[in-house]
Structures are given as C-alpha cells and as structure tokens.
Amino acid sequence: MKPTRRASYELFYWPMIQGRGEFVRLALEDAGAPYVDVAREPDGMKRMMALMKDAGGGLAPFAPPFLRTGKLLVAQTANILAIVAPALGLVGKSEGARAYAHQVQLTIMDLVVEAHDTHHPLGGSLYYEDQKPESKQRSAGFVKERIPKHLGWLERALAASGGPYLFGRKASYVDLSAFQVVAGLDYAFPRAMKRMTRSIRRLRALSERVAERPRTAAYLASSRRIPFNEHGIFRRYPELDEA
Ligand SMILES: N[C@@H](CCC(=O)N[C@@H](CS)C(=O)NCC(=O)O)C(=O)O
C-alpha cells in the first residue's frame, strides 16, 4: 500500500505532558500526518474522559494515549504505533520488519515504565514526596544497571543494522521513539547520561539525525512540543541522578 498522507487522526492524551503520547505525536509529526491533539482543544478533555467510559459500542480504552483513525479507536502506545506506521510510511513492509519494529518498541516501552518507576517505586497513588527514600534506592539500580543495559542493547542493534537507523537506511517509528527516550533520560539523568555518552555513540548519532529530520525539527521547535516537566514520565530530580 502506498503511504497516505491524507488519513486524519485524533490523538487522545493528557495535555500538559509529553508522556507516552509523545511517542505517537512524534510519529504523526514526522510523517506530516494531519492530526488533532484532542485534549488540547476546548472540551477535548471531556471527550477523552467520555471515551474511556463509553466508546460507543467499541472497546473503551483503559488509559491514554489512544488514537482514532477512521472507525478504529486503538490504545496502548506500541500497539497504536504498530497499527498506524504502515500508512505513515514509518515501518518496513515485510512481516519480519514489522515484527522487529514492534519488538524493539515494546522494549522501549519497558524502559519507559522503569524510568517512571524511579520516581514512583511504590505506585502512582502516592506523591513523589511520599516515596523519596524508595525512589533513591530504585534510581540507583536504574542508573547503574538498567540504563546501560537498555541503551547498550539499542547501540548493538544499531551496530548490527549498520545504521544510521535501527533497521538500516530508512527511518522507522522506532527511531523516533529511541530519540525520545534518549531526550527524556538526558533531561532526567543528565549526569549519568553524560558519563555513558562514549558507550552509546551510535545512539547519540541516531538521536541527532532524528532531531534534524525536517518535520521533526519543525515540531521540536514549535509550541506543540510540550517541554519536559516534573509531571511527566521523565522528571528532573537531581537527587535521583548519579552523584
Ligand atoms: N501500557 C500503556 C500504559 C498507559 C498508561 O499508563 N497511561 C498513563 C499515562 S502515560 C495513564 O494515564 N494511566 C492511567 C492509569 O493507569 O490509570 C501504554 O503503553 O500506552
């Protein structure tokens, strides 16, 4: 199927944070797809909350992000991306290409959960301030072992593909997501990320390349890109970073 730029998309996600919605935003923006970030529109939050209660006969999403395209209302970040990427021209056509892309995306989403859990190790129903000692303990292992393991794995995937992208010469939605986790980790753990820069040279080069893609660069410079903040997944709490 020829990639279409005409399909229209409605993205539903919390309006004040990048969060998981950002992985979908980046794909839509990079592809130049026409989309509405519904919860940032007047009455949009109301529409988003209503759909989680009643999707009008379809399957109601459990949590944002979710995306409406045509008759389909689909949730789960990696699932959304896997479904829209072929039409956006952001994944290879073969079953193998799509399966590998989905596999790496799911692993990136695992890293996102781990990043979130550094400031909420006891759970989302408590404030960060109520779980600071546990956050510190959780972050120590994350910084020392988990970031290097995850990013080292992406680095090896880049070495194996020959780059410049994770699956070779053509960019996929997974490259955009890899850029986003590197950006998020740079924001949240600047000292740890600086120390490991030399061991992730290919991943750094990939991130720079993604940030320079014309539509992505325009998006990153626009007001549509919500700055990182301490309500999202990647939070800058210096006490959780490497000493
Ligand atoms: N596995 C889901 C997780 C979705 C999720 O946790 N969404 C968050 C915002 S990033 C949320 O609003 N959760 C509400 C809840 O879990 O009750 C995905 O990757 O999309």
| Confidence band, pLDDT 50/70/90 cuts, at residue 158 | very high
Write out pLDDT tens, residues 70-108: 999 999 999 999 999 999 999 999 999 999 999 999 999
Q: Does ligand 1 lie within 6 Å of residue 105's CB atom?
A: no
Q: Report how far residue 83's alpha carbon sits from residue 101's, in angstroms, rounded to the nearest whole number.
A: 11
Q: What is the pLDDT of residue 129?
A: 97
Q: What was the pLDDT predicted at 4?
A: 47
pLDDT on residue 75: 98
pLDDT of residue 210: 98
Cβ(221) – ligand 1 distance below 6 Å? no
C-alpha 151, offset from chain centre: 14
Task: Judge if the beta carbon of residue 232 lies within 6 A of ligand 1.
Answer: no
> If you measure from the C-alpha of residue 176 to the centroid of ligand 1, how many angstroms do you get, rounded to a whole number?
20
The pLDDT, as a whole number, for residue 3 is: 47
* Residue 67 CB-half CA count within 13 A: 25
62, 105, 106: residue to mutate for ligand 1 pocket, most atoms within 8 A of CB: 62
Token couple for 102: 């989905």
Paired tokens of 11? 């993205």
Cβ atoms of 168 and 162 closer than 8 Å: yes
Q: What is the pLDDT of residue 2?
A: 46
